Every structure is written in C-alpha cells, then in structure tokens.
Chains A and B, each alone.
Chain A
Amino acid sequence: MTIVLAIILGLFFGFALQRVGATNPQNIINMLRLKDLHLMKAILFAIGFSSTLLFLLAGLGIIDAGHFSVKSAYTGVILGGALLGLGFAVAGYCPGTGLAALADGRKDALFFVGGGLLGALLYTLVYGSIKGSWLFDKIAGGKVMLAAGADKYQALVPAVPGVLLAGVIGVAFMVLAWKLPDKA
C-alpha cells in the first residue's frame, strides 16, 4: 500500500514541479538574480497555503499529527544550505528539480544528477570524520518548530495556539506571494 501511495504522490509532485516551471533552470536563475519572481511567488504561496491547511486539519484530527517530521536545527544546516545555494544559483537546479528536469530531455540535468551522486558519495565517505564536530552543534534544542502542532516536537512559541500562529505565518506568506512583483 505504501508503494502505491509513493507512486501516486510522487507522480503528483513531479507533475506539479514541471507544470509550475521549476524544472526550467532559466526560471530558477532569474528568480535568484531577482529578475523574474514568478517561481518565488508560487513557492511562497505553496508554503503558506499548505502550512495553514496542515495545522488546521491536524488540529481537527483529520491529518494525523504523528505524520509531522521536523528535522534537527544545527550549525551545518546553515552552512550546508549556503553550499547548496551556490550550486543552485550556478546550475539553476536543486536535487528535486534536477531529477525532474531529466523528463524535459535536458542534457545539462543529466550532468547535474551525476555531480549530485558524486557529492552525496563524498559526504557519505567524510561523514565519519566530521560527526561529533561543531558542525552538528544543535541550535535552540534541534528538532523544534515555531508553532505547536505535534506532541513529538517542542514549540518555540507554546503560549500561542499552533493553528493561530501557523495561520498568521501562512497568511503572511500568501500575502507576500500576492504582493511581490512578477518582473523586477
């Protein structure tokens, strides 16, 4: 059953990435050099809309809050994000869109995926010698979220109901998506 879900949800995600134009590196590069914010608007709207609904439906018990999976916050998250950002800007691909771009027949995506496999292998090989270093020093307790919503994870702002806080943040993302100019 989980394999059937993997196929359905994977197809849907790939379809969405392609249809929104995220598999086209031109759109990513133009977003990052602040020339064409189409994709930025779509991403902000997607995060705001899905976040608001997620907390609402989880609060109502329609979505199982046990499905939340919050990743740990540590120094390497910021540093790794920055390394990824450099490659992302030059290539116009991130791991998901680079793979999905293969379906567009993009040959440069093939080289991106090849480099990605090598990068992941290099990390697999060096991990043993960097684990336990300052790179993995936790920030604010590690696996934490701003809004309360899942019992497994600590909320940074427990005083405010999670649905309300996530709703305010989500609506702010959606308004920002709407207000940002398309072309800069």
Chain B
Amino acid sequence: MNGQLNWFKGGLLLGAAFLLAVAFVKPIGVSTQFVIADGIVWNLFSDDIVREDPASKTGYASPNSYLNKSGGKYAKNVANPVNYSFIFIIAMVAGALLSSRLGGPRAGVPDRSAPEVWRQRFGDRPGLRYATVFFAGILVLFGARLAGGCTSGHMMSGMMQTSLSGYLFAAGAFAAAIPAAVLVYTRK
C-alpha cells in the first residue's frame, strides 16, 4: 500500500515510540483519557463532580467512585486538562495528521466511510457501518476500562515490561477478536 511502511521499518518506528515514552516519562496509555474527556465535559455542567479536597492524596476528590479512585487521580486530571497524558493524546492525533500529510498512507473517499472488507461483506451502507462502529466503540472502551487499559497500555506497554497483566489482556483480547473477525467477515 502507498506510503505504508513494511512490518520491519514499521515495527522499529512503533517500538521506538513505546521505548522513548517510557525512557523519558512513562509507558504509553490511551483509554484512560476517554474517561478524562467525559469528566471534563461533565465538569462543565456540574458544580460538584470534581472538587478540591486537601484531605485527598492528589488534592482533588469526586463523589463518583471511579473519578475518586487512587486518591482522586482522575478527578485531578479532569480539573487540570493540561496534563501530560491528556496532551499526549491530542498530540497523537496531530502526529497521525502529520504522517498522512507527509507521504503516509491515504484513505480513499469510500474508505473514509467503511473499509473495503466491510463494503464487500455488507455493501455500501454507511449508516449501518456508523451504527455498528458506535456500538463497537461502547464495547471497546467499557472493556478497556474494566481491564484497566487497552491495546496500548496493556498489550504494547505491558508486554514490553513483561507484565503478567499485559499477557492476560492480550490472551483475552485475541481469544475473542479472532473468532469474531472470522465469523463477521469470514476468511474469504
């Protein structure tokens, strides 16, 4: 495919990204930031979802037990969106944009609604694709939060550190994903 790196060069580049992140700051993770983004919006409409609390470890607390977890860690990041992990995610989208503008692989017009493998199986029905992907998104992020991380945090960063949780996560994810993909899209 045009602009796409082969597995070796691509693997080197991807591996370097994960290694540099842990060398300079900490392992890469993405899915927590969906919670932070929700919290930021919630905080716009609520006066008490996140409040300063000198008694808490981070100085912030929330009546919601998830945002209040680990001494109010998420509550603190909701209150201060300009923090490392949240800015990292925004920069990640910008980095992808940079790559696509500087000779990276480009998505054709039909591919922007649904990938070819979807269109071959279900036809040109963008509405069906959008609805399905929306529900898939709910599953993916609910699952990632239950697991405490996603493909980046658990699988890539986790297995890089040889953490047991990374291997368990990868086993659970592929044990479900491979049969599901074969069932939905077939092997043809």
Contact = CB atoms under 8 A, between A and B. Distances in A.
Chain B interface mostly: helix
A145 B34 contact: no
A32 B177 contact: yes
B134 A103 contact: no
Contacts of B44: none
Given A11-B94, A68-B161, A79-B146, A108 B171 contact: no
A116 B136 CA distance: 8
Interface residues of A, number: 126
Interface in B141-188: 141-178, 180-182, 184-187
Contacts of A124: 35, 38-39, 64, 66-67, 145
A167 to B, nearest CB: 11
A90 B136 CA distance: 7
Nearest to B131: A111
A135 B16 CA distance: 34
A21 B115 contact: no
A127 B64 CA distance: 9
B22 A67 contact: yes
Contacts of A94: 140, 150-152
A55 B67 CA distance: 33
27 contacts: A6-B85, A9-B91, A13-B92, A14-B91, A16-B95, A32-B180, A33-B182, A46-B12, A50-B18, A51-B162, A54-B22, A69-B22, A76-B148, A78-B171, A85-B174, A87-B139, A90-B133, A96-B151, A100-B95, A103-B93, A103-B97, A106-B112, A108-B129, A115-B134, A115-B141, A150-B161, A153-B163
